[in-house]
Amino acid sequence: MSSNVWNPKLYDESHSFVWKLAGEVCRLLDAKPGERVLDLGCGTGHLTRQIADAGVDVVGLDVSREMIEQARREHPTVRFEIADGHAFELGERFDAVFSNAALHWMPELDRVFSRVHAHLKPGGRFVFEMGGAGNLTAVRGAIELALRELGLSSEAPGAPKNYLSVTQACAMLDRTGFQVVNAIRVDRPTKLEGAEGLRKWIEMFGGAWLAHVPDGQRERFFALAEQHARPSLFREGLWVADYKRLRVRAFRPA
């Protein structure tokens, strides 16, 4: 959840792995019929809908108007709200707050965790997966090398920087009043979709870097990024991004 303008069509067509690979964190949530769940950073709402189909009273929340409008069109029976994860106030409490692949887009996680804590019932759980320490090191490195080779800035203030270690996440949650039950960091090499998978990934998620690239240099930039990434990320005809995931289950004490 950042101020970025998201492209829901590109997200659904070329980056469905974001929600399709969420099986482990969904199992960790283990939502039961009749529970109330908040899906924080819900994007286009595919996981929100899956949670609702299990008989759960779920609310999807995202800062992107474009994503929420798409979610409402695709899943008209599910409730979706537009709000910033740093400052949302729904005036209600939930049995669980769930988040997949969204928290690393929220730069002030102490504020986000505080809002989550305020929206949980005593004994409620906070279950999330996000980018972990070392996430996308090779992808980011290739992008930055390409930018520097073109004489462009590689600074990206709007790109995620809070890829947390287990220790960092636990300390932050403890400060906010949570009790952590499970926290692991896992390597999850992820196949990108199609021969232009890396390019499409950058177009979807790399807006903070692309902002430095003039239109006339776009093709050269993508070619250089692919050249630098190929030795470590191109395998058997496919691009494979070096994802590292942090998966956590915590509780607000009763």
147 inside domain? no
pLDDT band for position 8 (cuts 50, 70, 90): low
Q: What is the largest CA-CA distance in the chain?
A: 58
> What is the total count of domains within the chain?
1
48 inside domain? yes
- What CATH number does the domain containing 52 carry? 3.40.50.150
| Mean pLDDT score, 105-123 | 97
CB 250 within 8 A of CB 179: yes
58 inside domain? yes
**What pTM did the predictor assign?**
0.90
47 inside domain? yes
The model's pLDDT over 91-101, given as tens digits with 9 standing for 90+, comes to 999 999 999 99
180 exposed, middle or buried (CB, 10 Å; 0-12, 13-18, 19+)?
Answer: middle
Q: What is residue 193's predicted lDDT score, i.e. its pLDDT?
A: 85
The model's pLDDT over 138-189, given as tens digits with 9 standing for 90+, comes to 999 999 999 999 999 999 888 888 999 999 999 999 999 999 999 999 999 9
3-state secondary structure 202-239: HHHHCHHHHCCCCHHHHHHHHHHHHHHHHHHHEECCEE
Q: What is residue 1's predicted lDDT score, i.e. its pLDDT?
A: 36
143 inside domain? no
222 inside domain? no
Q: What is residue 194's predicted lDDT score, i.e. its pLDDT?
A: 84
Query: Residue 67's domain spans which residues?
Result: 8-137+162-192+240-251
Distances (CA, A) of 124 to 67, 92, 95, 120, 253: 27, 13, 5, 5, 8
19 inside domain? yes
115 inside domain? yes
| Mean pLDDT score, 191-217 | 92
Q: Please give the full DSSP string across 160-172, using - where no structure is assigned.
A: ----B-HHHHHHH
Element (H, E) at 51: helix 46-53
CB 95 within 8 A of CB 35: yes
